[in-house]
């Protein structure tokens, strides 16, 4: 059964000032699958996923051309409600970035900004999101302590849990394990595999093995271009492009 398309990017060009950072990128992201973006530093993979929740809006002097359609909604349309879009498309960043508040306040933040006040309801959602992120047992006795007391790996799982609380449909991971040790990395990877049952996941990673382990589809990007996009097992076993093969075998990168 062919998977359902969740997000469809068509001929995306992206400019930082005059620099063209993305060149004619078209790809489909499938629902309930993990799509990995790999490629050397500066190839535009982070820039691309930041277009999906319009995080690049924050950078002055940038411009995007082409269309990204999610469930029939044109993401870049000037009348698209960015706040609503970002509620549907959660994001986990390269460096764990919990707020300098308590664990519980971090978790409830997404609900409170959406105007939810019912304490029982908030608590219920917080606990269930922490459980989903496999963090509940680690923190259940210190929910009101500062989130900055947690280890790096726990902070990153907190950021994932914080993003789950608002029940997004898509989760974007921007090199989520870049600053973590191998054991924490494994936990995050297990979590991603668990989460794909309920969410559509896009992950940017430097680590080719990580892409092989967690993803269903892999896109290889180079210098702002999409070189090859296919099922992960095909990309890693029978890549069509020579450049993909050379990158995966470590000839450059």
* Residue ranges that bind other proteins, judged by CB under 8 A: 53, 55, 58, 60, 83-84, 86-87, 90-91, 93, 95, 97-102, 109-110, 112-114, 146-149, 159, 162-163, 166
| Least spacing, CB of residue 148 vs other proteins, in Å | 5
Q: Which is nearer to other proteins, 47 or 244 (CB)?
A: 47
d(CA 178, CA 134): 20
CB 231 to other proteins: min, Å: 29
CA 164, 57, 26: angle at the middle one, nearest 5?
80
- Between 114 and 151, CB nearer to other proteins: 114
Residue 15: which residues within 8 A CB-CB, separation 6 or more?
Answer: 21, 62, 63, 64, 65
Give the three-state DSSP class for 170.
strand
Residue 130 and residue 161 in contact, taking contact as beta carbons nearer than 8 Å: yes
Shortest distance, position 7 Cβ to other proteins, whole Å: 16
- The residue among 93, 49, 38, 36 whose CA lies nearest residue 206 is 38
Q: Which is nearer to other proteins, 118 or 145 (CB)?
A: 145
| Least spacing, CB of residue 100 vs other proteins, in Å | 4
Nearer to other proteins, 2 or 58 (CB): 58
By residue count, the chain amounts to: 253
In the complex, least distance from residue 83 CB atom to other proteins, rounded to whole angstroms: 5
Q: Which is nearer to other proteins, 59 or 223 (CB)?
A: 59
- Least distance from other proteins to the Cβ atom of residue 233, Å: 31
16 has which bridge partners?
19, 62
CA distance 41 to 239: 21
d(CA 138, CA 26): 41
Please, which residue, 49 or 208, has the CB nearer to other proteins? 49
* Strands (E) located in the chain: 5-16, 19-30, 34-38, 62-70, 73-74, 89-92, 170-174, 200-204, 217-222, 225-231
What's the min distance (Å) between Cβ of 101 and other proteins?
6
Of 56 and 232, which CB lies nearer to other proteins in the complex structure?
Answer: 56
């Amino acid at each position: 059964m062919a998977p359902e398309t969740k997000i469809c990017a068509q001929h995306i060009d992206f400019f930082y000032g005059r620099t063209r950072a993305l060149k004619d990128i078209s790809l489909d992201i499938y629902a309930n699958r993990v799509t990995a973006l790999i490629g050397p530093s500066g190839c535009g993979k982070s820039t691309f996923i930041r277009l999906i929740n319009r995080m690049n809006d924050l950078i002055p002097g940038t411009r995007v051309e082409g269309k990204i359609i999610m469930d029939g909604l044109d993401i870049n349309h000037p009348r698209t409600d960015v706040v609503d879009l970002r509620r549907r498309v959660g994001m986990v960043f390269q460096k764990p970035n919990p707020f300098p508040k308590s664990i519980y306040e971090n978790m409830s933040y997404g609900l409170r900004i959406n105007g939810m006040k019912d304490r029982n309801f908030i608590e219920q959602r917080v606990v269930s999101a922490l459980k989903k992120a496999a963090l509940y047992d680690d923190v259940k006795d210190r929910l009101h302590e500062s989130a900055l007391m947690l280890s790096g790996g726990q902070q990153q799982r907190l950021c994932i849990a914080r993003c789950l609380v608002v029940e997004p449909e898509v989760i974007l991971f921007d090199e989520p394990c870049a600053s973590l040790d191998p054991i924490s990395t494994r936990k995050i990877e297990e979590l991603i595999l668990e989460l794909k049952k309920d969410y559509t996941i896009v992950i940017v990673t430097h680590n080719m093995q990580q892409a092989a382990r967690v993803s269903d589809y892999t896109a290889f990007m180079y210098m702002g271009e999409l070189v090859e996009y296919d099922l992960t097992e095909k990309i890693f076993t029978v890549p069509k492009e020579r450049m993909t093969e050379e990158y995966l075998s470590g000839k450059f990168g």
